[in-house]
Each structure stands twice: as C-alpha cells, then as structure tokens.
C-alpha cells in the first residue's frame, strides 16, 4: 500500500499552500478533498490582505504582518509555477473610522497622501475621518486556482470528491485517513478542513462556520475605484478586471450557505451610498461562504485565511519537520480547546 509523508485533509488555500511548501522541502504529499479543491471558503473570500487597522487580534498581529510581507514572493512563485495571474493589487486601503474614533491607535495608519476627492473622485465620503493603510489585495479565486495548479506542477497528489470520514490513529499517532471509499496511509496528517475541521473524528475541535454574504458588481468603468475601502458598514474591493466586491456579513447560521435577498440588498445599498455610480451597475453575482471560526477567533483562520496562507504554510512545515518556529505559537495550540479524543 502506498504511503505518503503527509496527508492534508482539505484542499483550500491553507491545505494547498502548505502542501506546496512541504513538497518544496522534499516531502510526498496527498491532498484529500471532499469536493473540488479550492471551491469552498477560499473561493468565497474578499481577498483583502488586512494586516493594518484594528481588527486583527493582538496575538495574531506578528503573523499577520509577516504574512503580508511574504505575499509578493508567495504570489510570484504561484504565478510562475501555474502560469496564471492572481491580481495582487498594491493601491492601499482607505479606512473610514466610526464617528468619534480618532486615528491615534490604529495600526499602520497614515494620513491620506492626497485629498480624498483626488484619490477617489467617485466616492461619497461624507464627513467621517479616513486614513490610509499600506495594504494589498488579491483575487482569492485566482489565487486558489493558481495554488492548485502549482501543487500539481510540484507533484502533490490529489484525491477529490471523497470526504475524509475519520483520522486513523494508532498508539496516539496519526497513521492516515479513511474516506467513504478507501483508506490512505501517511506518517503525518494535517487537518486543513476549514470550517469543517471539527467534524472529523476522533478529534472534536470547537471550530464553527461563520457565514459571510457578499455581492459583486461590474463597475461602470474599470478604474471607478482603485483603493480598497473599509468602513464600519461595508467594505469595497475593486479588481483589475472591473469587478467590485462588496461585503460582508458576519453571521452565526450553521452550515447554511444560502444568500438572503434582503441582506444582499442591504449590502448593495451600503455600497451605493459609498460609491453612488454603482446605482445602475450590473450585479454579477452574490454568494455566501463559511469562515472557519473558533471560540477565541484565533486560527482556524476565520476572517484572515487568505492573508495568513503563506505564514501558515511556513510555520506548519517547520513544525512538522520538528524545527523550532521563529514565532511564538503558544496562543495557537489545539490544547487551548481542551480537546476530546
């Protein structure tokens, strides 16, 4: 029976980028994906690489910053190996502050480099304070497609369309996985099943799905908006092909991925209030995805899995090789969940 060095349960951005990193270090890797690789939460994300502002949990900040710094090289390699482009954009973010909030303690906040009417003539900013953040964005659909292609190019093996139904454990060590059709053997198994990570016996992690609904417009002109816009009521993410994403809700709705017309209309109204030229823009698509949430909002990757993919791949590959990580990982141990086996 064939044996791999590592099996990744799940082929989203986390499983794929880790598999690539492990292959680079010489390991044989099998990704076992329940559906099609790269078509779940990583496909639904907005793609902000948001390491500034004040939403990142304090204990995650050093990883978020390191990962944001790794992104250009991460994307360069993926594009090179996949021959695909992933629309990494570097125009920065305009962060609108809640009324009454000063900009003093906001991480990475800079004064606007020019008046907002020059930076984004089509915006209706109102009288709120706004700061500039040096952040990038990426198209997660393109990113995860490129990661899948790069993984294949590197010789990562893939099994799609069959769910892992249990992790096989012998004498306290993982020995492989069982799917609903067969079993696969490996010296190490890593659970990259995102919002579903807590559903694979025998371990019972308290991960939970946190639903996010989004809507996508065709901008009337490609450069209607250049910066990412973040405001308390809405965020807007322009893509180089003229699409504009508006999001996102944060809902406790179990594994329900349906969009709700009223909610999509609310998002659309908030987007139009910010960018009035969207009023007659075509809505291309609306969708929902399930963020991998945890009780303390630490990985699981919750709202930041696209941002955190490169640093996660590096750290996990180090840890799996028995090397000491450069980062303090004590806050992220699974032991914090008082796991039941």
Interface ranges with ligand FAD (CB under 6 A)? 9-15, 32-35, 40-42, 44-48, 163-164, 192-196, 200, 212, 214, 247-248, 289, 291-292, 301-307
* Least Å from the CB of residue 117 to ligand FAD: 27
Comparing CB distances to ligand FAD, the nearer of 49 and 97 is 49
* Least Å from the CB of residue 256 to ligand FAD: 13
* Least Å from the CB of residue 35 to ligand FAD: 5
Comparing CB distances to ligand FAD, the nearer of 158 and 273 is 158
User: What does the block give as tokens for 299?
Assistant: 């990985």
Q: Rounded CA gap, 179 and 186, in Å?
A: 14
Contact of 328 with 334, CB cutoff 8 Å: no
DSSP 276: G
* Least Å from the CB of residue 253 to ligand FAD: 11
Task: Write the CB contacts of 58 (distance below 8 Å, at least 6 apart in sequence).
Answer: none
Comparing CB distances to ligand FAD, the nearer of 10 and 281 is 10
Q: Rounded CA gap, 150 and 139, in Å?
A: 16
Q: Rounded CA gap, 201 and 104, in Å?
A: 47
User: What does the block give as tokens for 244?
Assistant: 């504009």
* Least Å from the CB of residue 164 to ligand FAD: 4
Comparing CB distances to ligand FAD, the nearer of 177 and 281 is 177
Comparing CB distances to ligand FAD, the nearer of 195 and 224 is 195
* Least Å from the CB of residue 118 to ligand FAD: 26
Distances (CA, A) of 44 to 47, 107, 140, 293: 9, 26, 8, 15
Comparing CB distances to ligand FAD, the nearer of 47 and 53 is 47
Q: Rounded CA gap, 199 and 90, in Å?
A: 38
Q: For the beta carbon of residue 218, count every other beta carbon within 10 angstroms.
A: 15
Which residue carries 């944001």 as its tokens? 68
């Amino acid at each position: 029976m064939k044996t791999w060095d590592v099996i990744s349960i799940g082929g989203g951005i986390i499983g794929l980028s880790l598999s690539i990193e492990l292959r680079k270090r010489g390991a044989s890797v099998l990704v076992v994906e329940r559906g099609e690789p790269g078509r779940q939460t990583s496909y639904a994300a907005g793609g902000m690489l948001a390491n500034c502002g004040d939403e990142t949990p304090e204990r995650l900040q050093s990883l978020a910053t390191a990962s944001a710094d790794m992104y250009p090289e991460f994307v360069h390699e993926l594009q090179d190996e996949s021959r695909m482009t992933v629309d990494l954009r570097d125009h920065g973010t305009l962060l609108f502050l809640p009324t009454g909030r000063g900009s003093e303690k906001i991480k990475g906040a800079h004064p606007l480099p020019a008046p907002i009417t020059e930076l984004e003539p089509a915006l209706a900013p109102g009288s709120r304070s706004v700061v500039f953040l040096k952040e990038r964005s990426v198209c997660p659909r393109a990113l995860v497609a490129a990661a899948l292609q790069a993984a294949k190019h590197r010789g990562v093996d893939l099994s799609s369309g069959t769910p892992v139904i249990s992790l096989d454990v012998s004498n306290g060590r993982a020995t492989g996985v069982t799917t609903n059709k067969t079993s696969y053997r490996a010296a190490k198994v890593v659970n990259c099943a995102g919002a579903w990570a807590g559903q694979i016996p025998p371990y019972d992690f308290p991960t939970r799905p946190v639903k996010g609904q989004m809507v996508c417009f065709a901008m009337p002109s490609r450069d209607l908006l250049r910066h990412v816009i973040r405001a308390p009521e809405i965020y807007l993410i322009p893509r180089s092909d003229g699409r504009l994403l508006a999001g996102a809700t944060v809902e406790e709705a179990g594994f329900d991925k349906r969009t709700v017309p009223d909610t999509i209309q609310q998002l659309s109204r908030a987007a139009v209030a910010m960018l009035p030229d969207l009023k007659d823009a075509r809505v291309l698509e609306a969708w929902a995805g399930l963020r991998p949430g945890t009780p303390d909002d630490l990985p699981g990757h919750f709202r930041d899995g696209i941002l955190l993919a490169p640093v996660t791949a590096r750290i996990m590959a180090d840890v799996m090789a028995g090397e000491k990580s450069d980062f303090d990982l004590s806050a992220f141990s699974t032991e914090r969940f008082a796991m039941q086996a």
